[in-house]
Structures are given as C-alpha cells and as structure tokens.
Amino acid sequence: MDMLKGKTAIVTGSTSGIGLGIARALAARGCAVMLNGFGDAAEIARIKDGLAAEFGVRTAYAPADIGDAGQVKAMVDQAAEELGSVDILVNNAGIQFVAPVEEFPIEKWQQVIAINLSGVFYGIHHALPRMREKGWGRIVNIASAHGLVASVSKSAYVAAKHGVVGLTKVVALETAGSGITCNAICPGWVLTPLVQKQIDALAEREGIPLDAAKKKLLGEKQPSGSFVTPEQLGEFAAFLCTDAAAEMTGAALTMDGGWTAQ
C-alpha cells in the first residue's frame, strides 16, 4: 500500500466530501498530502493531523481560493516548500448554482466558471513545470457526469465540467511521453454536502421526506439506485496515480452508476 511513498499530492477541495476521500486514499499509499478548502479551522486541523497520525505521512494545509490564480500559485509553492515536491495534482474543488439560463445571475456564472474551470487551469499551469523537472507527474481532474451530458438549469456547471474534460485532453497531448499523465474522473451522484443541499431543496420544494428525495434524485439519473462514495472515488484516483495507469492519459472516466450509459 506504499506505492506512492515519497510522492506529494495537492488535493483541492479536500476538507470534506470527494476531496477528503481522495486525500485519504493517497495518504494510505504513503503520499504526503497538501489539503485545501474552506471550513472550521479546528476541524481542518483535526483532519490534517489525523491523516498524518493514521498513515504516517506529512500533511499541510493551504486555504487558497481556487478561483484566484495568485492564491493557487502560492499553494503550489507552499506544497513544494513544506512537503518537498509537487508530484500529483487532484483538481477537485467545485461549487454549484442552479437556475434557468435567462435567470442565471451573471456573478454566479462567473463564480462557477472561476472555481470549476479556471481554477483547474491555474493548478495545472503552476504545478506542471515542477512535474516536468522530475519527468513524472499525475494530474487527476474531478469533472462530472455533467462533463459528458447536460441537465436543465445547470448551465455554468455543465459548461465548466465540459471545459474540464476538454482541458484534460489538451494537457494529456502536451505531456504525452513525458512521464506525466492527465485524466478526468466523471462521477455521478455522490452524497457530498453539495449534493445534500440539492436533496434538502428537493424535499422542501415537493414536501417529501429526505429519503424519498434521495430516491427521486437517484431515480432521475443514476440507474444503479445508489450513490457513488468518496471512498470509491479515492481508490479510483489513487489507481490513476500508479505505474499501472502510466499509459492512461486524456481519458474521461466515469463512475456514475450507469448515468451516461443511457
């Protein structure tokens, strides 16, 4: 389980949900981890120290706003200084806003694009030179089933995630043969705080219990009828960072309970 020992990973949006699941999977394989995200300072410190103690790896934390290019650069520099290198970059941070196109607030569009798409570019832009210096690197972009198909009222999110899939392909071509890979994971419904908000809103809007709202949400899109878990996505991302996946690059890989097979 120490196949990534000696490597350092930055995982954006890793103080909860999918990002934390990925950070745990990488730490379990001996990888030093730079955490990033918002939340209660004491809880973040507990997570950071807990990972270090549980897996015997070095950890650090950067509160960078992923939609700000300067803060992303500072985070990459901090990872290199505190943890020794930047070998793996997992671009996971994301936000959501739902409204019909003609009612979509301009500032919300700009915010979703800034974090969900531009932030992915900023991370790659600043981390890639360090990977090239070592002749090895792994970039894993957490896109979405919405990077492959669309849903109503999610114009900014769908546009951003389609952009992430396209960016993934470009980076894969530009790094082909260099020892660096770049892939996108496209999850379906994952029970994260972001999705829980949508479940809560659905339950309130339709006046139904939370369990019924969960089933309705899954039933609309995900044939398996079950949520993808952060742990499953963590294992998937960790695999993409191994030598076994050295010839996987430029791929948009689904873990969506059959969503995009329809």
Contact assessment for residue 47 and residue 77, using Cβ atoms and an 8 Å cutoff: no
Nearest to 202 by CA among 189, 220, 214, 188: 214
Among residues 55, 109, 122, 157, which one is catalytic? 157
Average pLDDT over the chain reads 97
- pLDDT exceeds cutoff 70 at 1: no
Q: What's the distance, CA 211 to chain centroid?
A: 26
pLDDT digits (tens, 9 = 90+) for 50-80: 999 999 999 999 999 999 999 999 999 999 9
CATH topology of domain 8-188+229-254: Rossmann fold (3.40.50)
Residue 115 carries which DSSP code? I
Contact assessment for residue 21 and residue 102, using Cβ atoms and an 8 Å cutoff: no
pLDDT digits (tens, 9 = 90+) for 147-190: 999 999 999 999 999 999 999 999 999 999 999 999 999 999 99
Q: Give the model's confidence band at 209: pLDDT under 50 very low, under 70 low, under 90 confident, else very high.
A: very high
CB atoms under 10 Å from CB of 231, counted, come to 14
**Could you give the C-alpha distances from 167 to 25, 81, 122, 139, in angstroms and in order?**
25, 27, 11, 11
Residue 149 and residue 260: Cα distance in Å, rounded?
A: 7
Helices (H), the chain: 17-28, 41-55, 69-83, 106-113, 119-134, 155-175, 193-206, 210-221, 230-240
Look up 157 and say whether it is catalytic.
yes
What average pLDDT score do residues 106-127 get? 98
pLDDT digits (tens, 9 = 90+) for 78-93: 999 999 999 999 999 9
Strand partners, 186: 254
Residue 49 and residue 229: Cα distance in Å, rounded?
A: 23
Q: Using CB atoms within 10 Å of the CB of residue 55, give its burial: 0 to 12 exposed, 13 to 18 middle, 19+ buried.
A: buried
Domain with CATH 3.40.50.720 in the chain: 8-188+229-254
Residue 87 and residue 10: Cα distance in Å, rounded?
A: 8
Residue 194 and residue 204: Cα distance in Å, rounded?
A: 16
Number of helices (H), then strands (E), belonging to the chain: the values are 9, 7
